[in-house]
């Protein structure tokens, strides 16, 4: 498995470290593992600095559709902070986060792990948004 996954239940954080070789099936398996671990709603820090795989547009659409399908039954997926070293993977991850706009996925791309962790911390400390119930 090209992904190592650590779960910090105290922080509600999943830390993923990727390494080659990777393909879209590996990403879907990783998401299945996160669901099985009951960590779907946790924030994810995805360290892809050692990954050279570049997903295709179809791969990205497959991943976003998978997240949307599962969000219907599991609720929203937690925010995802991708950390990419190569400019090509960084660009693909940015495309992924833009395709995800309007979906059940909130993702941002970073080149620095500390910045990604700060974004997750800030995101998770915001009050929930959405419809409010009026009595």
pLDDT of residue 103: 59
Exposed/middle/buried for residue 96 (C-beta within 10 Å: 0-12, 13-18, 19+)? buried
Tokens read off for 68: 């949307």
> Burial of 106 by CB count in 10 Å (0-12 exposed, 13-18 middle, 19+ buried)?
middle
Distances (CA, A) of 38 to 12, 16, 32, 86: 10, 15, 10, 31
* Apex 94 CA angle, 93 and 99, nearest 5: 95
Report the predicted TM-score, pTM, of the whole model to 2 decimal places: 0.81
Range of the domain at 110: 3-125
- The CATH number for 94's domain is 3.30.750.24
Residue 74 dihedral angles phi and psi, to the nearest 5°: -105, -10
Task: Identify whether 63 is part of a domain.
Answer: yes
Q: Is residue 92 part of a domain?
A: yes
Question: What pLDDT, on a 0 to 100 scale, did the predictor assign at position 131?
Answer: 37
Which parts of the chain sit beneath pLDDT 50?
130-135
The predicted pLDDT at position 40 comes to 95
Per the domain annotation, does 67 fall within a domain? yes
Asked whether residue 28 is domain-assigned, the answer is yes
Tally Cβ neighbours within 10 Å of residue 58.
9
In a domain, 48, yes or no: yes
CA 40 to CA 125: how far, in whole Å? 18
Q: 64, 28 in Cβ contact below 8 A?
A: no
| Any domain includes 130 | no
| Rounded Cα distance, 103 and 26, in Å | 21
Q: How many domains does the chain have?
A: 1
Instruction: Look up residue 76 and give its DSSP letter.
Output: P
Does residue 135 lie within any of the structural domains?
no
Query: Is residue 7 one of the residues assigned to a domain?
Result: yes
Tens of pLDDT, residue by residue over 69-82, are 998 999 988 999 98
Residue count of the chain, please give it: 135
């Amino acid at each position: 498995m090209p992904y190592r996954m650590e779960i910090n239940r105290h922080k509600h954080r999943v830390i993923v470290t990727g390494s080659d070789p990777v393909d879209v099936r590996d990403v879907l398996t990783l998401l299945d593992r996160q669901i099985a671990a009951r960590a779907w709603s946790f924030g994810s820090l995805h360290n892809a600095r050692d990954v050279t795989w570049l997903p295709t547009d179809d791969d990205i659409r497959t991943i976003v559709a998978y997240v949307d399908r599962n969000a219907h039954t599991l609720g929203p997926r937690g925010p995802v902070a991708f950390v990419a070293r190569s400019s090509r993977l960084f660009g693909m991850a940015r495309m992924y986060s833009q395709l995800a706009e309007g979906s059940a996925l909130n993702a941002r791309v970073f080149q620095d792990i500390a910045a990604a962790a700060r974004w997750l911390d800030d995101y998770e400390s915001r009050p929930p948004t959405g419809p409010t119930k009026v009595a």
